[in-house]
Structure 1
Amino acid sequence: MKPYPLRFKPEMKERVWGGRALEQFGLSLPDGPIGEGWMIGDHPNGTTKVINGELAGLGLDEVRERYGKSVFGAKGYAVNGRFPLLVKLLDCNDDLSVQVHPGNEYAGLPEGELGKTEMWYVLDAKPGAKIIYGLNPGVTRESMARAIADNRIMDCLQVVEVSAGDSFYIPAGTVHALCAGVLVAEIQQNSDTTYRLYDYGRLGLDGKPRELHIEDSLNVTAYEGSGATRMKTDVRAANDWLRIAASPYFIVEKGVTSGRWTLSAAPDSFTILVVCEGTGTLEWADGSLELERGACFLLPADLPEYALNGEATVLRSYLP
């Protein structure tokens, strides 16, 4: 098989805090409040299937089984028997729960699950939109436990106003929450483990209070700082990459195309492209695909060269 960029049918996830904003990407949504579009993933809770080319109809798990290192690369093929990352689009029509994710080393992880380090790139934000991002200085396990018991956990948390183009790196152990009015692209470890600290007394989709995970949350929170970082991502020159997140699990860069930009894939890792704005084409030796807002592509490790042609803002992710 000649290598080519893969597109997938997203797995849509109903969430109590979701809405219908993902329709603006031309995505077909089921009924209900849709909070997450899993764009590229291979997890027990959702595996995306290829929709283009010779591999159309195969799940990402089947692609791995058949083509292994040629698609995933030596780095991507060796991680936990699954695709190492999960790529999402998130529509935050309401506030998410205040939450924290464990690291790989946490003994309480469900069997076979990874920890969860992630990053957000803000695609759109309503005026005044905010997120919760880390703890206030001096918060300890003991003081946060007391605040939870007294129903005043918000006193412990930093609230940050956001706008389109902001980037947030969220290592495991960072207490955080997206809030209403934010549309986000998320690149994360392949994990679906979330510990909730607080959920505003809200009822779930089943009409019952959603479960909290206080002890696990207190155990995994990084009280002395997790290494979380944030930045504005203004790109000064076209056809160049700005690194906006770097972790042991992924590197994410932002680029703005102008005209034709010829690029090479990393030979030991797949590459993921997420189109944030604009239009154009993704071209390689044997064909081309349209670039459109919200489109996500998986470029195999053995695809030697490709080009972005047009006027578009793109995120590029690969393994370090």
Structure 2
Amino acid sequence: MSTLYPLKFKTIYKDKIWGGQKIKTYLHKDFGDLPNCGETWEISGVKSDVSVVENGALQGQSLAALLEEHKDALVGKSVYERFGNEFPLLVKFIDANEDLSIQVHPDDELARKRHNSFGKTEMWYVIEADPGSSLIAGFSEEVDEKTYVEKLNSGNLTDILNREDVKAGDVFFLPAGRVHTIGKGLLIAEIQQTSDITYRIYDFDRVDDKGNKRELHTEEALAAIDYKKYPNYRTDYTPVKNEDVHLVSCPYFTTNVMDYTENVSKDYSAFDSFVIHVCLEGSYELQYNGESYAVKMGECLLLPNTVDKVELKTSQGFKILESYIA
């Protein structure tokens, strides 16, 4: 069995009707001949798009094959017991040049019943925002299914949805069932459950290059939606330099933001989980077991459960999202 080490994966680029150019111009990732890149999948165990190792002795191996071979050495004992040979998280960058569709994702129970899949709880970290950018998360008033359907059918759905003005650094946690959309002008890092199930509710009557509207999932969405109104949809936190700042905890992932201008040592030996780094700004070198791994903005690193103590060295500073399963 090969020894595990910090893993980089080849980026999977996704052309989207609403995508733009920021993956290239801001994150400096080359998506080649795609007209517009709406998403990159950085670490994925989704069966249709499984990530492939880009660095070191395991180069060319798929994440699925690694998990099958290394099991809890890769993901942690409790994680493997819970998820088996299915990698539990999907990491993306999303560039919304136009508003995404208004949508909702099913929870585990509904997704298992309908699709034999996990549900989809996710979080967003806003990397960059054009002036005046906004997004939708949840309802702005208490509604029931009947009111929701009336508003949808009359073309007034947005009247009851909660729209938030956003800026770089804003964080939103979106449990399964929360109606949402990413607004025009936003570049976002997304951490989510491994699932590609989306119920599209409204797509602004857009058509593709052949004049076809995208499929809607009006009926499927009804049982998936959480119709409650919540007091706050934004994740409040205070940014602090050179400290780990907690953002989100849920059964599917825990995420912190690390905004450092100096070197830092990390000891993950008490974790029973893999750890994912998503580099949002700057660059650093992660040193482990006598080897050095360079990471820059727009790149991700998967630290297997066997990777315990690491050093993060930087000359220009870095900001990363650190995610794991607690």
| TM-score using structure 2 length | 0.93
Q: Distance in 2 between matches of 1:206 and 1:192?
A: 24
2:145 pairs with 1:144: no
Q: Distance in 2 between matches of 1:303 and 1:213?
A: 42
Q: Which amino acid aligns with 1:82?
A: E
Q: Distance in 1 between matches of 2:45 and 2:208?
A: 25
Note the C-alpha offset of 1:206. 4.8
Partner of 2:191: 187
Partner of 1:174: 178
Note the C-alpha offset of 1:226. 7.2
2:252 pairs with 1:249: yes
2:226 pairs with 1:213: no
Matches within 5 A, 1:64-143: 64-78=67-81, 79=83, 81-106=85-110, 110-143=114-147
Q: Distance in 2 between matches of 1:32 and 1:94?
A: 14
Note the C-alpha offset of 1:80. 5.2
In the superposition, relative to structure 1, how do residues 258 and 244 fare at CA in structure 2: closer, same or farther (>3 Å)?
Answer: same
Which range is displaced more, 241-250 or 218-227?
218-227
The answer to whether the 8 Å contact 1:174/1:228 transfers is no
The answer to whether the 8 Å contact 2:68/2:85 transfers is no
Q: Which amino acid aligns with 1:84?
A: P
Matches within 5 A, 1:18-29: 18-23=19-24, 24-29=26-31
Task: Specify which of 280, 304, 314 is matched with residue 320 of structure 2.
Answer: 314
Structure that is richer in strand per residue: 1
Q: Distance in 1 between matches of 2:29 and 2:157?
A: 37
Q: Which amino acid aligns with 2:121?
A: T
In the superposition, relative to structure 1, how do residues 171 and 107 fare at CA in structure 2: closer, same or farther (>3 Å)?
Answer: closer
Task: Specify which of 281, 292, 301 is matched with residue 297 of structure 1.
Answer: 301
In the superposition, relative to structure 1, how do residues 39 and 179 fare at CA in structure 2: closer, same or farther (>3 Å)?
Answer: same
The answer to whether the 8 Å contact 2:103/2:199 transfers is yes
Task: Specify which of 33, 49, 59 is matched with residue 52 of structure 2.
Answer: 49
Once the two structures are superposed, residues 25-72 of structure 1 have per-residue CA deviations (whole angstroms, 9 ceiling, x without a partner) of 232214222111000001122111000011100010011112111111
Q: Distance in 2 between matches of 1:61 and 1:108?
A: 20
The answer to whether the 8 Å contact 1:168/1:228 transfers is no
Secondary structure of the corresponding residue to residue 25 of structure 1: coil
Q: Distance in 1 between matches of 2:222 and 2:182?
A: 20
Unaligned runs of 5+ in 2: none
Q: Distance in 1 between matches of 2:230 and 2:264?
A: 36
Which range is displaced more, 212-221 or 52-61?
212-221
Note the C-alpha offset of 1:81. 2.8
Aligned length: 319
Unaligned runs of 5+ in 1: none
RMSD: 1.7
Q: Distance in 1 between matches of 2:232 and 2:44?
A: 24
In the superposition, relative to structure 1, how do residues 263 and 107 fare at CA in structure 2: closer, same or farther (>3 Å)?
Answer: closer
Note the C-alpha offset of 1:260. 1.7
Partner of 1:157: 161
| TM-score using structure 1 length | 0.95
Note the C-alpha offset of 1:231. 2.9
